[in-house]
């Protein structure tokens, strides 16, 4: 069996890598009157799991940059709505994932400024059998 010192090698033909498989974008718009309690905004993303793993990122319309959903837990964002909070999350389904943006409002009804979440799904093939 071949053995390699991988630290100084850019590409190894003796090992697999993450092969780009598919990517897509979904928009969730959060707007309107938010009653006390929590309000859920959601959008499905349909994809086939077939031998793939995925990362799902999101960005917010008024905050620069892109954050990752499922390899970090940046879910407790308190800076979008004070004193409430907005928590984006993922619930995987049999044919994809449901992206959930949940707005928590501890006070009286509140009209939230319109804001959008852009969801980026990135799938790569990996040497797995599911």
Partner 1 sequence: MNFDSIAYFSGIEIDKIVDVKAGTFVNVSDTILRQPDPIFFSGLNVFSIPHGFSRPVFTDALIRTPDLGGTPWLSPGNNTLNFITYSTSTHVCIAMVSNLNINIQYRVICSWITDYDTTNPLVPEFHPVDKSILFDSRVNYQKIASSGIVTGGNNFNPPHSINNPTNKLSNFKVFLEAFAGEVWVMNAGGQQNPFAIDFSQMEGEAVITSQSLEISTSNGLPSQRSWYKIYYDG
Residue 79 binding partner 1, by CB under 8 A: no
What is the distance between the alpha carbons of residues 16 and 125, in angstroms, rounded to a whole number?
10
Smallest separation, CB 108 to partner 1 (Å): 25
Tell me the window of 32-40, 65-73, 107-115 that interacts with partner 1 (CB under 8 A).
Answer: 65-73
Structure tokens at 104: 């928590």
Contact 30, 119 (CB under 8 A): no
Give, as ranges, the residues between 91 and 130 that touch partner 1 (CB under 8 A): 91-95, 100, 120, 122, 124, 126-130
Task: Tell me whether residue 27 or residue 33 sits nearer to partner 1 (CB atom).
Answer: 27
Smallest separation, CB 125 to partner 1 (Å): 9
* Per-residue contact flags (x/-) with partner 1 for residues 10 to 29, judged by CB under 8 A: xxxxxxxxxxx---------
The helix/strand/coil state of 110 is strand
DSSP 77: B
DSSP 71: T
Which residue among 61, 90, 112, 116 contacts partner 1 (CB under 8 A)? 90
Contact 101, 118 (CB under 8 A): no
Phi-psi region of 51 (alpha: psi -120 to 50; beta: other; left: phi over 0): left
Give the binding site for partner 1 (CB under 8 A): 1-20, 49, 53-57, 59, 64-76, 89-95, 100, 120, 122, 124, 126-130
């Amino acid at each position: 069996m071949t053995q390699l010192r991988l630290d100084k090698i850019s590409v190894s033909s003796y090992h697999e890598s993450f092969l780009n498989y598919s990517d897509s974008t979904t928009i969730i718009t959060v707007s309107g009157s938010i009653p006390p309690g929590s309000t859920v905004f959601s959008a499905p993303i349909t994809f086939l799991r077939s031998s793939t793993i995925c990362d799902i990122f999101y960005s917010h319309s008024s905050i620069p940059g892109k954050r990752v959903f499922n390899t970090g837990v940046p879910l407790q964002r308190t800076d979008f709505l004070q004193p409430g909070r907005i928590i984006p999350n993922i619930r995987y389904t049999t044919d994809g994932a449901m992206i959930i943006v949940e707005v928590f409002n501890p006070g009286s009804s509140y009209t939230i400024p319109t804001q959008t979440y852009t969801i980026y799904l990135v799938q790569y093939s990996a040497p797995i059998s599911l």
